[in-house]
Chain A
Amino acid sequence: MGRTPYWNIDLGILIDLFALPMIVIFFYGMYGHWKRIRQGKVRVNLDLSKSAGKIGPVYLYSLLTKGILGTKIYKKIYTGVAHGGLFWGMVVLLLGTILVFLNVLFGLPVFSGGFNHWFMAFALDFAGLAVFGGILFFLVRRLLFPPERLTEPKSRTGFSPIVLLLGVVILTGFVVEGGRIACNGIDNGSFMGNYLSMMFGKGDEWLTLHRYMWWIHGFLALGFLAYIPYSPLVHLLLVPVNAALADPMPGTKMGLIDFSSFEDEESEEMPVLGAAKLADFSRKRLLDYSTCLWCGRCHEVCPAAQTGKPLSPKGVIITLAECLQDGRVEDDSLIDSLTSEALFCCTTCAACMEACPALINQPKTIMKFRQNLVMERSEIPELMGKANSSLELRGHPFFGTGAGPNDWCKDLDVPLFEEGKTEYLLWIGCSVTYEERAQQIAGSMVKILSHAGTSFGILEEFRCTGDPAKQMGNEFQFAELAQQNIEDFSDLGIKKIITMCPHCYNSFTRHYPKLGGNYQVIPHSVFLKSLLKAGRLSLNRETNTICYHDPCYLGRRNAIYDEPRDVVNSMGKLVEMPRNRNESFCCGGGGGNYWAEEVGTRINQVRAEEALGTGADFIATSCPFCLLMLTDGAKKFTEDQKIFDIAELVALQLEER
């Protein structure tokens, strides 16, 4: 038994003709998006275009997984399943519609045999049900029980009408099917249609109802499709594009600014540093803003937004999205409307970026604004300004420190790096030099490396890598410091560097190569792991429980999660906090916020409480800033010193024996 297309419908082919204007409306809408995005700057990053799995600017793997399969959505399982039902249901239904169309045009035999039974009948009914379930979930949640992330700082309008419209399309589809089956008899597999037909019973009025419903369903379906580019559902096209164009390297990259045109007497136009208005951003960023769904997953994980600070990554992106929608690309009051207070609250932890199912790079946008505030307008919170001045004057940001540059090693026998003789440079970094508590990390590391017989040395004089300046938006200061360091390293023939601070590691690996500094850089946690593996360190696994806090710049930004855990595991029993690995919660010290007068709840206290809540004997981390922030945060809850760098814990074990 087969199905006849356009059964009971006169001139049914007209619906296909009506599809044509709808397609025009659809593409006109998409063209509108392109026209808006095109107002951004064209930036092609040449050295990124060579990686494997990449065709032109398209990252194939990202496109497939994050873009089309939408793997990130399933982090929230209910929303994920509802979204999956809706999306994949619609894909199947669209496929069914295309098959019907092919049947009409070319007589493709889809309405016969097992295919008709399992696909055209059963699968399509099932898909319709999945879509309908998804719609119900979204409508109920959005209209009745919206979570904070959807409403803060404000909700997106326009979702409910189009979702409702789609619901009506699905319902009318079922009614048409039910009507057809009621008149033509049971269609095996079409369980929904069969069920409805039994409810309807058999009668001539169904012929009329079916006819009307068929046309209504058809027109609404076409209307729905044409409406997509004008509604939030446009994300179903923009997200895959955004995913395909987003660099899949973890964390955000800020690239470098070429300051040479400022030097050049001849150059007439000096570039705007950072961004103050939409036109200062690249097309990729404008695509970000167009793509944003306002889902608020970033808001929910943002340490600033969650502790009562004026910043919400969602707030920033939607402000930009609205500005873009209104065509205010040249409006440089944009940066003021976002407020510098809010923009400097970002700890650059990249949790927002990690959580974003639409592959938006929120930190980069925020950083671009910061660069503009600092380098074009001298606007910076007072303490960060002091840290910046200290970087400029003394090469380190720890203004008012009570420590001299050699205090950390005054009781230690530390070799200097000798060209041609020493293998590894042990890079000390600013916090470890100038912060009393952090100094102990270096002491521990020196003991460990001496014990293991590693060939290492330190610099006689050193300066900061420039990371704090970069994160505070002072790219210029960063470049100055980085260039000086690179010169020093070249003079000494340094090739391998061990870092104790993930911020230094991140600077060396991400930013120095572009300035001509290429080194093999090893974070101390990774180096400790390799020493353990090579049997040059042996630790006793004790009964202590140790909780590990992932530093943002080691974890989320560089995907180093396992090595520090392996080191921890070789000393005691590893326990995890509720938020761990790529979902780790920031200590609050990133992005220059170590030098901030925090408003609202202190981020370090929130994280320290979470860590102490595990009941672990020790809390380990592998970043001096995390160590300092968490040590400070824990004071609210306990008088015991529980927070240590993993190197300190390792050295402690070496000493005990």
Chain B
Amino acid sequence: MFGRNEAMRRSIRLKTGGYPMHIVVLAKVVPDYEVPAGDFELTNSRAHSRYKRMMGLYDENAIESGVQLKEKYSASLTIVSYGIKADIQVLRKAVAMGGEKLSLVLGGSDDPNVIAANLKMAVEKLEDVDLILAGQQSADMDRGIVHGMLAEMLGFAFIPQVAKIEQEDGQWKVIQNTESGSSELKFGGKAVLSITSVPENVPRIPVVRSIFAAKKKPVVQLPEIEGDAMPVDELSVDIPKMESVCEFLPTEDDPAETAKILLGRLREERLI
């Protein structure tokens, strides 16, 4: 009815009958995303190095979703990241939440093309990856494009804003959040899913024995490959001036006038 690709269906069947399914979750270590605006500073156009480094919140949602899938379908779960050596310590938490191993490409680029190319290399080294999950956007650059680029590079389908994943008749069935509600989608091939935050994937606190076990899980460190940078120049990064002084609107006269002024000001600032 939907013109399903028979070859893809067969490959899934093989998968479920044969060796275990392999899920990859992408995670990125970022500076504290909850630093209050008043305390936020930049050095070299990036968040100040004094902020603690941690996994992005959506990434943790993705890991939680991955762990739930792993538990439900006896899959194996690998955490893949691109970052610096010091990130390993932070990424152990992802492993403690339920990953089997960690694969880290060592590199310091912020270019989405370069990052995606390196993640592709890491995923291809793993072989037989069935499904890739990623947080809907990293908590530093907030781009939400690296995972989509990776999907295309790997020839996988890309589905953003995924809230729920399950298997049905050897296919994946996912719920995708949209602006007006949600869509239920089904596919048989391999895919990259960007995961949004929903009550069902609130990240777990790893249990103590997993925290200790995670210290012994294998960490593969891969040297960076050269990728083509995206043809975009970053000209500047600035912290917008936050208007902290409250502007009191006149109320003596006509309240309708006050309402008009307010709406006018909000429109001026493109807020409504």
Partners in one complex: yes
Smallest CB gap from B38: residue in A: A404
CB neighbors of A among B179-227 (8 A): 202-209, 211-212, 216
B39 pairs with A393, CB closer than 8 A: no
Given A393-B52, A407-B39, A476-B211, residue A388 in contact with residue B34 (CB < 8 A): no
B205 pairs with A401, CB closer than 8 A: no
CA gap between A394 and B50 in the complex, in Å: 12
Binds B, one of A88-96, A369-377, A412-420, A561-569: A369-377
The interface residues of chain B lying within 8 Å CB-to-CB of A476 are 208, 211
CB neighbors of A among B26-40 (8 A): 32, 34-36, 38-39
Interface residue B54 (Cβ < 8 Å from any Cβ of A): yes
CB neighbors of B among A373-428 (8 A): 374-378, 380, 382, 385, 388-390, 392-395, 399-405, 407
Interface residue A262 (Cβ < 8 Å from any Cβ of B): yes
CA gap between A380 and B205 in the complex, in Å: 8
B32 pairs with A378, CB closer than 8 A: no
CA gap between A374 and B211 in the complex, in Å: 13
The interface residues of chain B lying within 8 Å CB-to-CB of A266 are none
CA gap between A392 and B94 in the complex, in Å: 13
The interface residues of chain B lying within 8 Å CB-to-CB of A385 are 202, 204-205
Interface residue A273 (Cβ < 8 Å from any Cβ of B): yes
The interface residues of chain A lying within 8 Å CB-to-CB of B204 are 378, 385
A404 pairs with B202, CB closer than 8 A: no
The interface residues of chain B lying within 8 Å CB-to-CB of A376 are 207-209
The interface residues of chain A lying within 8 Å CB-to-CB of B212 are 259, 262-263
Interface residue A104 (Cβ < 8 Å from any Cβ of B): no
CA gap between A377 and B206 in the complex, in Å: 8
The interface residues of chain A lying within 8 Å CB-to-CB of B202 are 382, 385
Quick one: which of B36, B38, B207, B211 contacts A377, CB cutoff 8 A? B207
B162-174 vs A: 1/0 string, CB under 8 Å? Answer: 0000000000000
Interface residue A474 (Cβ < 8 Å from any Cβ of B): yes
Indicate the size class of the contact surface on chain B: 20 to 34
CA gap between A262 and B207 in the complex, in Å: 12
Given A262-B212, A393-B54, residue A407 in contact with residue B38 (CB < 8 A): yes
The interface residues of chain A lying within 8 Å CB-to-CB of B205 are 374, 378, 380, 385, 388-389, 474
Chain A nearest Cβ from B168, distance in angstroms: 27
B207 pairs with A400, CB closer than 8 A: no
CA gap between A378 and B54 in the complex, in Å: 20
Indicate the size class of the contact surface on chain A: 20 to 34
The interface residues of chain A lying within 8 Å CB-to-CB of B36 are 401-404
A109-146 vs B: 1/0 string, CB under 8 Å? Answer: 00000000000000000000000000000000000000
The interface residues of chain A lying within 8 Å CB-to-CB of B38 are 402, 404, 407
Smallest CB gap from A388: residue in B: B205
CA gap between A390 and B60 in the complex, in Å: 13
Interface residue A270 (Cβ < 8 Å from any Cβ of B): yes
The interface residues of chain A lying within 8 Å CB-to-CB of B93 are 392
Chain A nearest Cβ from B40, distance in angstroms: 9
Given A402-B38, A404-B39, residue A378 in contact with residue B207 (CB < 8 A): yes
Given A393-B52, A394-B52, residue A270 in contact with residue B203 (CB < 8 A): no
Q: Which of B38, B54, B204, B205 has the most CB of A within 10 A?
A: B205
Chain B nearest Cβ from A333, distance in angstroms: 19
The interface residues of chain B lying within 8 Å CB-to-CB of A389 are 203, 205
The interface residues of chain A lying within 8 Å CB-to-CB of B35 are 404
Quick one: which of B32, B208, B209 contacts A393, CB cutoff 8 A? B32
Smallest CB gap from B51: residue in A: A394
Chain A nearest Cβ from B236, distance in angstroms: 24
A236-275 vs B: 1/0 string, CB under 8 Å? Answer: 0000000000000000000000010011010000100100
Chain B nearest Cβ from A272, distance in angstroms: 10
Chain B nearest Cβ from A227, distance in angstroms: 47
CA gap between A401 and B34 in the complex, in Å: 8
The interface residues of chain B lying within 8 Å CB-to-CB of A393 are 32, 52, 54
Smallest CB gap from B211: residue in A: A476
Chain A nearest Cβ from B118, distance in angstroms: 25
Quick one: which of B39, B52, B206, B216 contacts A378, CB cutoff 8 A? B206
A476-507 vs B: 1/0 string, CB under 8 Å? Answer: 10000000000000000000000000000000
CA gap between A394 and B35 in the complex, in Å: 10
The interface residues of chain A lying within 8 Å CB-to-CB of B208 are 259, 262, 273, 375-376, 476
Chain A nearest Cβ from B135, distance in angstroms: 15
CA gap between A264 and B93 in the complex, in Å: 19
Chain B nearest Cβ from A411, distance in angstroms: 14
The interface residues of chain A lying within 8 Å CB-to-CB of B209 are 262, 270, 376
The interface residues of chain B lying within 8 Å CB-to-CB of A395 are 52
The 4 closest A-B pairs by CB, nearest first: A404-B39, A262-B212, A378-B204, A375-B208
Q: List 19 A-B contacts (CB under 8 A).
A: A259-B208, A262-B208, A262-B212, A273-B208, A376-B208, A378-B206, A382-B202, A389-B205, A393-B54, A394-B32, A394-B34, A394-B52, A395-B52, A401-B34, A402-B36, A403-B36, A404-B36, A404-B39, A407-B39
State the A residues within 8 Å of B (CB). Answer: 259, 262-263, 265, 270, 273, 374-378, 380, 382, 385, 388-390, 392-395, 399-405, 407, 474, 476
Contacts A262-B209, A403-B36, A407-B39 known; 4 new A-B pairs at CB < 8 A:
A382-B202, A393-B54, A402-B36, A476-B211
